[in-house]
Structure 1
Amino acid sequence: MAYLAQTQSGQPILILKEGTSRSRGREAQRNNIMAARVIAEAIRSTLGPRGMDKMLVDSLGDITITNDGAAILDEIDVEHPAAKMMVEVAKTQDDMVGDGTTTSVVLAGELLKKAEELLDQNIHPTIIVSGYRKAAKKAMEVLEKIGVTVDLDDKETLKKVAITSMGSKAVGTAREHLAEIAIDAVKQIAEKRGDRWVADVDNVQIIKKEGKSLHDTELVRGVILDKEVVHSGMPKRVENAKIALLNCPLEVEKTEFDAKINIESPEEMEAFLKEEE
């Protein structure tokens, strides 16, 4: 459907392109809420300690098994604008906190569900939004009261936090081992800014290697250059080495030869073959 306007002379003006649909009022509200709630329902079953994993198959046939909300939504091809906003909620939560993506999306879906019930009672959307903002402010006040300050040396409490965060990761029996590594890694990069400890997780590099189990994961307190040796005869281990830092590429380049051989007679061909032997 195309939407037209007319000039004073009756000349039609095309406003929206062919195939464009338009909704307004209560219908638009219902459509947007429904689209957002569909996203929340898609990952609801992955929430909590009894959450189920989902198998994702992309267009190339690659299979991913996960119950991580951000990973699931990242693989879903979403077109509806309201649904895309729910996906952005998960991405923002993952970028800022690194956990709680499923919880944030499911909670947003429930808030929209309750908002729809209020809309059915003819309560104006601005009043609903104002109420939700007051509730969010109150929730933050309660969190400040019940929050517990954890010392950086309280490894047992930090370990519990790390294990809880790994609930959505397929790490199996290696959960405690990886939790201890995560704590040690964060303590290595943590720095105090004012009265708070801040850790930039971008300073932790994770390198994957095939051939061993998750229990063989180890923390290297240093820098890893994930490169193969240039020549098989080079040593695999060097202790007390001197390290040169170069601000330029250091690669072994193969020399290319552009040669041409002109052979004009059988005798020259025979001589060339003998030389090759």
Structure 2
Amino acid sequence: LGPRGRNVVLEKKWGAPTITNDGVSIAKEIDLEDPYEKIGAELVKEVAKKTDDVAGDGTTTATVLAQALVKEGLRNVAAGADPIALRRGIDKAVEAVTAELFAAAKKIESKEQIAATASISAGDKEIGGLIAEALDKVGEQGVITVEESNTFGLELELAEGMRFDK
């Protein structure tokens, strides 16, 4: 969980096992036999995928929060709580937490702050520095794409204008 998350070895039905600490990759590999458990697992997979799509990180935290919401929600409904009122309460709590997060957020302005934040996210100081350099070149509205390479080392490539994938 978080930047110090542990690695997991995923056994594949075919091919070599995969080592990862990415919540989305782990969630994708979950396949349960029981249809009710499978529904729950699919819900959690969707939470992880949407978090990855929107934020690019935090999938494990989102998964843990989703599991806690489902567990406590089911416990409350079993104890007689109105599911609609419970949902409204969750929506209000989400609004309150979101407002607090925006109020507590600090804008990152310097290249050094960007490098420090990116280094934590990537788990690598050199990658963090390269991301800060890329952001410095493309600006706040620019797009940065990180790709794996078959070669050794890190490389920054700047493409002016538009680029289309074939």
Please indicate the TM-score interval, normalised by the length of the shorter structure.
0.7 to 0.9
Alignment partner, residue 93 of structure 1:
51
Letter in 1 for 2:127: L
Residues 1:84 and 2:38 aligned together: no
Q: Per-residue CA shift, 1:58-77, capped at 9, x if unaligned?
A: 11132211111011112333
Residues 206 and 50 of structure 1: is their aligned pair in 2 closer, same or farther, counting only changes over 3 Å? closer
User: For 1:207 and 1:83, how far apart are their aligned partners in 2?
Assistant: 29
Given the alignment, which residue of 87, 103, 128 partners 1:179?
A: 128
Does 133-142 or 80-89 show the bigger shift? 80-89
Aligned-residue RMSD, C-alpha = 2.1
User: For 1:50 and 1:97, how far apart are their aligned partners in 2?
Assistant: 18
**What does 1:239-258 align with in structure 2 at a 5 Å threshold?**
none
TM (norm. structure 1) is 0.51
User: For 2:142 and 2:80, how far apart are their aligned partners in 1?
Assistant: 47
C-alpha displacement of 1:123: 0.6
Unaligned runs of 5+ in 2: 161-166
Structure 1 residue runs of 4 or more that deviate by more than 4 Å after TM superposition:
none
Residues 1:54 and 2:12 aligned together: no
Instruction: Give the number of the structure with larger relative contact order, counting CA–CA contacts within 8 Å between residues 6 or more apart.
Output: 2
Alignment partner, residue 114 of structure 1:
72
Task: Please identify which structure carries the higher helix content.
Answer: 2
* Higher Cα radius of gyration: 1
Question: What percentage of aligned pairs have identical amino acids?
Answer: 31
Contact 2:5 2:21 in 1 (8 A): yes
TM (norm. structure 2) is 0.82
Letter in 2 for 1:149: K
Residues 205 and 50 of structure 1: is their aligned pair in 2 closer, same or farther, counting only changes over 3 Å? closer
Unaligned runs of 5+ in 1: 1-46, 168-174, 191-196, 224-277
Q: Per-residue CA shift, 1:88-143, capped at 9, x if unaligned?
A: 11111111111111111111111122223322321111111111001001111111
Alignment partner, residue 67 of structure 1:
21
Given the alignment, which residue of 82, 88, 102 partners 1:144?
A: 102
| Count of matched residue positions in the alignment of Structure 1 and Structure 2 | 156
